[in-house]
Amino acid sequence: MTDKRRQHIFSENCTGHNVAPCCLCGRPIQRHIDRWIIEHKRALALLGADLNTNCGPAHYDCAQVKTHTEDLPRIRKAKRQQAMHEGTKEISRRFARLAGMVYDWQNRRYVRESPHAIEGADHGEHRSYPA
């Protein structure tokens, strides 16, 4: 953002001589005394427009808090949702099935898979070993 645009946005929001309210906390910002930045009210990464109406002066500390507590978590979530939608990310599971293990629904636990359990499945046997 150019310095000219930055100063113009501050001037648009001025309520007094070189004083404008913070767009986040509402406290006054003095142009030449306080440390301030132009904050996008809706983050660009969340499809916010890069227009002067979407921007406002904010204390540097207020902007850092908003960025790290609101914007970044939302951006991360949006990227995860997009990756799942596009199919570029596999679904992660809490418990990975170990090799050679099958879930025994009757006992509600994982048991070792044995060749007898697969053959016995045709005869109605569900367990891979006697209980």
- Candidates 110, 1, 122, 118; CA nearest to 51 is 1
Are the C-beta atoms of 25 and 65 separated by less than 8 Å? no
pLDDT for the residue 126? 54
pLDDT for the residue 116? 63
Q: How far apart are CA 10 and CA 2, in angstroms?
A: 13
The whole-number average pLDDT for the span 64-79 is 96
pLDDT for the residue 112? 87
Sorted by where each begins, the domain ranges of the chain are 3-86, 93-131
Higher pLDDT pick, 101 / 115: 101
Higher pLDDT pick, 25 / 89: 25
The whole-number average pLDDT for the span 49-61 is 95
Query: If you search the block for the tokens 């199919």, which residue do you land on?
Result: 87
SS3 114: coil
pLDDT for the residue 124? 52
Beta bridge partners of 57: 38
Are the C-beta atoms of 58 and 38 separated by less than 8 Å? yes
pLDDT digits (tens, 9 = 90+) for 9-47: 999 999 999 999 999 999 999 999 999 999 999 999 999
